Structure 1
């Protein structure tokens, strides 16, 4: 008899993030085009101008526009702004968004009549 080998079924590594129940529960962020619009008016998202909400961290006063996240304090927000995730998301948001006209031109449709 050879050593103690497992002779049962092989267990496949299931990617649990592809299960529909997990995907349905995922917290959705704003899309890049929505963030691009919000970045045009950053003065609307300054502490003191935002409505106070006791359900949000920091009473909803420390908000990152690019990441759509609230923070407990200004120090925590500043630490977040130095993170790679924030910088990557900010770079995506600062690019010029594509328009419907760009999409039509890419497939060869013209918008002239």
Structure 2
């Protein structure tokens, strides 16, 4: 008894569909939706709608949920969506301020007090600027003891 031979057929084509399915389910990110919600989302939402083909959107984009970035076929399905848990969870998430680049820089330590070493570098830079304004260069500056 030998081992089973390897399959001569190519890999399962359904395995390759996973990324397509993920992109099909892709919704707008929370920070994008948060920007839309600031001015009730109408200005930017209308710009995005102008770029899309209205015949492809359910209900011709008349019934929309800006918070979930979804389109519905009729007003009844929109109302049931607004009463549902997924919509309410999304509203809770949108109530929080999104994480900004400035916050991430502060978390790393940029833009905060860097201790004595940072203050020393700032003082040196300030003294260098004063010397340049006075007209002397670093070579002509007196040496400190």
- TM-score calculated relative to the size of structure 1: 0.68
| Deviating 4+ runs (over 2 angstroms) | none
Alignment length (residue pairs): 91
- Structure 1 residue runs of 5 or longer lacking an equivalent are 1-18
The gaps in structure 2 that reach 5 residues or longer are 1-14, 44-48, 114-121, 123-145
Residue 110 and residue 20 in structure 1: after superposition, are their counterparts in 2 closer, same or farther (change >3 A)? farther
What is the RMSD computed on CA atoms of the aligned residues?
Answer: 2.4
The aligned counterpart of 1:104 is 105
Offset from partner CA, 1:54-96 (integer Å, 9 cap, x none): 2211111111112111011122111101111111112112211
2:7 is matched with none
Distance 2:95 2:19 in 1: 28
Q: Which of 21, 28, 31 is residue 25 of structure 1 equivalent to?
A: 21
Q: Name the structure, 1 or 2, with higher relative contact order (CA <8 Å, separation 6+).
A: 1
TM-score scaled to structure 2, two decimals?
A: 0.54
